[in-house]
Structure 1
Amino acid sequence: MSKDLFLAIDVGTGSVRAALLDTRGKILAVTSREHDQIVPQFGWSEQRPRDWWAGVAAATRSVLAEVPDAASRIAAVAACGQMHGTVLVDDRGELVRETAPLWNDKRTVDYVTAFEAANRPESYLADCANPPTPAWPGFKLQWLRDNDPSAYRSTAAVLMPKDYINLRLTGEIAMDRGDGGASFLMDPRTGDWSQKMVGLLGLDQAKLAPLRNPVEILGSVTAQAAVETGLLEGTPVLVGGADYPVALLGSGVCRPGVGSEVMGTSAIITAIASQPLLDPSVCNVGTVEGNWGAFMLLESGGDAMRWARRAFHDKQFSYEDIVAKAAEAPAGSERLFFMPYLAGERLGDHRNARAQYFGIGAGHGLAHMHRSILEGVAFAVKRHINILDRISGAPLERVIASGGGAKTKLWLKIKASVYDIPILVPREAECGLVGCGIMAATATGQFSDLQAAADAYVAYDEEIRPDPAWADIYRPMQTFFEKLYQHSQTLYDDLDRLPQ
């Protein structure tokens, strides 16, 4: 029987998903299993790796049942997974800690603050490609070393979530360079662990898993894993990748000059570059095809719409109602500005930034207020694009949009006009699963390289081009937005000192 299927596994924060794709990249079936997030105290966030495996086994059995003879037709298994979840295993591959702190766990904030106080960015950025944040596994390992010393001592390997699934599938231990590069511990110049960064954080390099490329074959499904999942023993399993870079690949974002915007609660803009862009305000993640994704995050993207729905309408308006109201106002909202920093900023000196309206006049109404939110988020993302363009020296030529915000046509047109470049929306919204298919197709020799596979697998529904009249209005407004941003910085600390 021909090997004409791929199995994609996505270990997300809310659920595990398993999907079968054909060799043309079409998703034939998807199943999912939810798992719980554990919050032992404020700011902490954990999950049980065994729950991920139970979900993978159940979802895989379920999806195999949806397609005839699926198990015998699978050419390869490729997994991606949530980043930064720090899993500790011993020399037998057994968990030494029942739970793993997740990407959104903030217990390491004091370690980050101490590192920032002791080290200037120029002294370490080239060695790790990233500014310090509580998400990075390097800081999680510091916390585990100091607060769960017996588990740390027993650890033979540190894994990320998809690596633990691969271990259960194959018995092999490895981490891909995408997850490794987002650990604060990998040297971007060598693609190996950085002795300097490991030393600065006081960690044991021997505990870090071997780093490999995502498209390499890690091993094959063991007899025990075959029993649990329904897969055939011996089915090849890839090293796989972190969910974000795999989703970039699955949306066709795999060449310099192409950017990605993921608009959910937050807004993440990513520019593909041949080397990491070293700046204290920019994070970098290694991409599957060997480039780097330099990204900046706006904490309140879609969340600004959620705030408007609650604050103005007590949740009685739908999001569609809000967008329809915004469409009644002219482009530029008659010089009304919204600064969308409802949850502060992720990096920089003013993480205590606040949102504001500026320029309100007697003629402004609800339509202007709503449209200025859509425009304000676009101006804030454009500010990030300008920073990335300046550092890279190669301006973005187009943006691929995904996430919930990519479904709002007015917002897409506003963004294209603010950014002054076209925006494309992938036809298949499941970019992570498609990215797994692209990796599997390349690993099994169907394509000569990942870019060729992405070109074949990824299609776009439409291209949203800038409206020339809107772009003329937005260009000087962007300059003013940047000035307003800079002037506002001087007020946030003073605001925090006011009595509540």
Structure 2
Amino acid sequence: MKYVIGIDLGTSAVKVLLVNQNGEVEREVSKSYPLIQARSGYSEQDPEDWVEQTVAGLTDLLTDFSGDPVEIEGISFSGQMHGLVLLNENNQVIRNAILWNDTRTSAECQEVYDVVGKERLLNITKNPALEGFTLPKLLWVRKHEPDLFRMARKFVLPKDYVRYRLTGQLHMDYSDAAGTLLLNVSEKKWSHEICELLGLDIKLCPQLVESHEEVGTLIEDIAKSTGLTSKTRVFAGGADNACGAIGAGILEEGKTLCSIGTSGVVLTYEATGDKDFQGRVHYFNHGASDAFYTMGVTLAAGYSLTWFKDTFAKQESFEELLAAIDDVPIGASGLLYTPYIVGERTPYADATIRGSFIGVDSSHERKHFVRAVLEGITFSLHESITIFKNSGKKIDTIVSIGGGAKNDEWLQMQADIFNASIVRLQSEQGPGMGAAILAAYGCRWFNSLKECAEQFIIEDRTFTPIPENVAKYKELFSIYQEVYGKTKELNQQLVKFR
């Protein structure tokens, strides 16, 4: 039997999957690492933690592997987007990585607009300047840590650094490069114009490769420490959302994905890079060659639920926390939640806004708050679906992955709020499976990513919208949409107290 490994470098943990030639997950290992939050709005990690835990995960994966390590033919990666890893002339890390959910760069986003111009930036990168993206982070380090910035010779994104440490080769794939605000998305090349306007040396940008492209093999030390062989082929991999799309079969027009992890994503396939959403949603290069995807993001989707559990039910499992939500009526008996606890991205792109519980009543119990959190997360994701539908896209079937696919009541909620059929996959591994598919295709097990996905991905169950629920949620959604405008100014006034 032949095998590949998919490595998904997430925000809280790295997940390592061993997948056989039939697309079956033989084993999976997860290794966590800490988040560093020195002050409000800051979010960093030590890249060495990623490397150590990835190597530990690979080692554990091989511990009980009964086959010959030579049968593990390839490894590929999925990784959290936008994070800035700065390297010196010896490719050593200069400072902690600044992550996608870090919001300290509002002034630098304005600098990008002032120098490049909003319209020109959208023309080149297809995306607005947001705090989470990589370019504002580069500008922040240059302004606030000039001595460190002068040491920088290259920047990469999180999974690229881990891959470098495993292979000794430094690259970045197009799907991750699209999230830097330095890539000409349509032309698939670094933008000399943006670099020149902002005074950045384009040599900071690494070599670009396709997601399925082979970039090296494991270095001897890594092979020995993990139990793999130095002949194991390593493929570039892709951004977590691109890999999540591949792992859910979003590889042709009409396919849409809802992924609820730490953040939440609604993603739909685009065959061309010439559509104009005026920056209301993200527009990135896909992990599939010469394809694209558009995407709306809820910054604190699954994180909203994690925050609630850790704050109010720390000793309970998520299953216990959600056990009573089917006893709570739609609308949580008049309780509404907005998931802006770390700011928001789609459709508001607002780093200052914060979350709210609206309509708290003395009759409300914890289960009402839990249902309100789930509904608020789903309403936020529905804002992205609404943008897609208003642009003329037909969205009647959505593949749901991540934490939102683990609870039947939540899946039905998605069907009712989105007014679309929701498909749950039989083996839902998200970005990790997408990385494995890229490795399998790179090893030439299949003639195309689509052919591989059809072999590896099996649907489990479909949840269809219930008309009376759709009507109730439509009314609630209109109320939800008013909360942002009515709390924006209040949150701006509260900033100085954070």
Residue of structure 1 equivalent to 2:415: 416
Alpha-carbon contact 1:185-1:198 (below 8 Å) kept:
yes
Correspondences of 1:114-129 after superposition (within 5 Å): 114-116=111-113, 120-129=117-126
Q: Extract unaligned runs of 5+ from structure 1.
A: none
Q: Measure, in 1, the Cα distance between the counterparts of 2:158 and 2:4.
A: 20
Correspondences of 1:232-381 after superposition (within 5 Å): 232-264=229-261, 266-274=263-271, 275=273, 278-290=277-289, 291-302=291-302, 325-331=324-330, 336=334, 338-343=336-341, 344-346=343-345, 348=348, 351-352=352-353, 355=356, 357=358, 374-381=374-381
Residue of structure 2 equivalent to 1:427: 426
Greater Cα shift, 417-426 or 364-373: 364-373
Letter in 2 for 1:462: R
TM-score, length-scaled by structure 2: 0.86
Q: Call closer, same or farther: CA 1:55–1:327 in 2, change over 3 Å.
A: closer
Alpha-carbon contact 1:353-1:489 (below 8 Å) kept:
no
Letter in 1 for 2:42: W
Aligned pair count reads 489
Letter in 1 for 2:66: P
Q: Measure, in 2, the Cα distance between the counterparts of 1:349 and 1:84.
A: 15
Greater Cα shift, 254-263 or 143-152: 143-152
Letter in 2 for 1:279: Q
Q: SS at the partner of 2:431?
A: helix
Q: Measure, in 2, the Cα distance between the counterparts of 1:225 and 1:319.
A: 36
Alpha-carbon contact 1:337-1:376 (below 8 Å) kept:
no
Residue of structure 2 equivalent to 1:12: 10
**C-alpha displacement at 1:27, in angstroms?**
1.5
Q: Are 2:161 and 1:157 equivalent residues in the alignment? A: no
Residue of structure 2 equivalent to 1:227: 224
Alpha-carbon contact 2:74-2:232 (below 8 Å) kept:
yes
Q: Measure, in 2, the Cα distance between the counterparts of 1:59 and 1:256.
A: 36
Q: SS at the partner of 1:432?
A: helix
Q: Call closer, same or farther: CA 1:21–1:109 in 2, change over 3 Å.
A: same
Q: Are 2:138 and 1:138 equivalent residues in the alignment? A: no
Q: SS at the partner of 2:269?
A: strand
Q: Deviation per CA, 1:299-342, whole angstroms, max 9, x where unpaired?
A: 4545665677799x8879986677565434555668x4725245
**C-alpha displacement at 1:463, in angstroms?**
0.6
Q: Call closer, same or farther: CA 1:480–1:349 in 2, change over 3 Å.
A: same
Residue of structure 2 equivalent to 1:396: 395
Q: Measure, in 2, the Cα distance between the counterparts of 1:10 and 1:195.
A: 31
Q: SS at the partner of 1:124?
A: helix
Q: Deviation per CA, 1:225-261, whole angstroms, max 9, x where unpaired?
A: 4334332223221111122321221122232322222
Q: Call closer, same or farther: CA 1:240–1:496 in 2, change over 3 Å.
A: closer
Residue of structure 1 equivalent to 2:29: 31
Residue of structure 1 equivalent to 2:98: 101
**C-alpha displacement at 1:26, in angstroms?**
1.3
Q: SS at the partner of 1:184?
A: coil
Q: Measure, in 1, the Cα distance between the counterparts of 2:89 and 2:277.
A: 36
Residue of structure 1 equivalent to 2:456: 457
Q: Deviation per CA, 1:324-372, whole angstroms, max 9, x where unpaired?
A: 65434555668x47252452533537653653536x999x866877655
Greater Cα shift, 224-233 or 454-463: 224-233
**C-alpha displacement at 1:421, in angstroms?**
0.9
TM-score, length-scaled by structure 1: 0.85
Q: Measure, in 2, the Cα distance between the counterparts of 1:17 and 1:238.
A: 17
Q: Call closer, same or farther: CA 1:449–1:203 in 2, change over 3 Å.
A: same
Q: Call closer, same or farther: CA 1:302–1:171 in 2, change over 3 Å.
A: closer
Alpha-carbon contact 2:22-2:456 (below 8 Å) kept:
yes
Q: Measure, in 2, the Cα distance between the counterparts of 1:413 and 1:226.
A: 45
Letter in 2 for 1:84: H
**C-alpha displacement at 1:84, in angstroms?**
2.3
Greater Cα shift, 184-193 or 244-253: 244-253
Q: Are 2:177 and 1:180 equivalent residues in the alignment? A: yes
Letter in 2 for 1:352: I
Q: Measure, in 2, the Cα distance between the counterparts of 1:340 and 1:96.
A: 37
**C-alpha displacement at 1:160, in angstroms?**
1.6
Q: Deviation per CA, 1:198-247, whole angstroms, max 9, x where unpaired?
A: 23432110121011101011122233443343322232211111223212
Residue of structure 2 equivalent to 1:492: 488
Q: Call closer, same or farther: CA 1:216–1:476 in 2, change over 3 Å.
A: same
Q: How many percent identity over aligned positions? A: 26
Correspondences of 1:34-113 after superposition (within 5 Å): 34-92=32-90, 94-113=91-110
Q: CA RMSD in A?
A: 3.3
Q: Measure, in 1, the Cα distance between the counterparts of 2:401 and 2:134.
A: 26
Q: Call closer, same or farther: CA 1:142–1:305 in 2, change over 3 Å.
A: closer
**C-alpha displacement at 1:374, in angstroms?**
4.3
Q: Measure, in 2, the Cα distance between the counterparts of 1:110 and 1:227.
A: 46
Greater Cα shift, 283-292 or 367-376: 367-376
Q: Call closer, same or farther: CA 1:46–1:305 in 2, change over 3 Å.
A: closer
Q: SS at the partner of 1:43?
A: coil
Q: Measure, in 1, the Cα distance between the counterparts of 2:316 and 2:73.
A: 48
Q: Measure, in 2, the Cα distance between the counterparts of 1:342 and 1:91.
A: 39
Q: Measure, in 2, the Cα distance between the counterparts of 1:169 and 1:300.
A: 31
Q: Measure, in 1, the Cα distance between the counterparts of 2:100 and 2:375.
A: 29
Q: Measure, in 1, the Cα distance between the counterparts of 2:31 and 2:88.
A: 27
Q: SS at the partner of 1:293?
A: strand
Residue of structure 1 equivalent to 2:20: 22
Alpha-carbon contact 1:128-1:197 (below 8 Å) kept:
no
Residue of structure 1 equivalent to 2:384: 384
Letter in 1 for 2:450: Q
Alpha-carbon contact 1:401-1:425 (below 8 Å) kept:
yes
Alpha-carbon contact 1:88-1:158 (below 8 Å) kept:
yes
Q: Call closer, same or farther: CA 1:419–1:31 in 2, change over 3 Å.
A: closer
Q: SS at the partner of 2:436?
A: helix
Q: Measure, in 2, the Cα distance between the counterparts of 1:151 and 1:307.
A: 34
Residue of structure 1 equivalent to 2:195: 198
**Larger Rg belongs to:** 1
Alpha-carbon contact 1:333-1:372 (below 8 Å) kept:
yes
Letter in 2 for 1:355: S
Q: Measure, in 2, the Cα distance between the counterparts of 1:113 and 1:457.
A: 44
Letter in 2 for 1:385: I
Q: Measure, in 1, the Cα distance between the counterparts of 2:86 and 2:332.
A: 52
Greater Cα shift, 215-224 or 111-120: 111-120
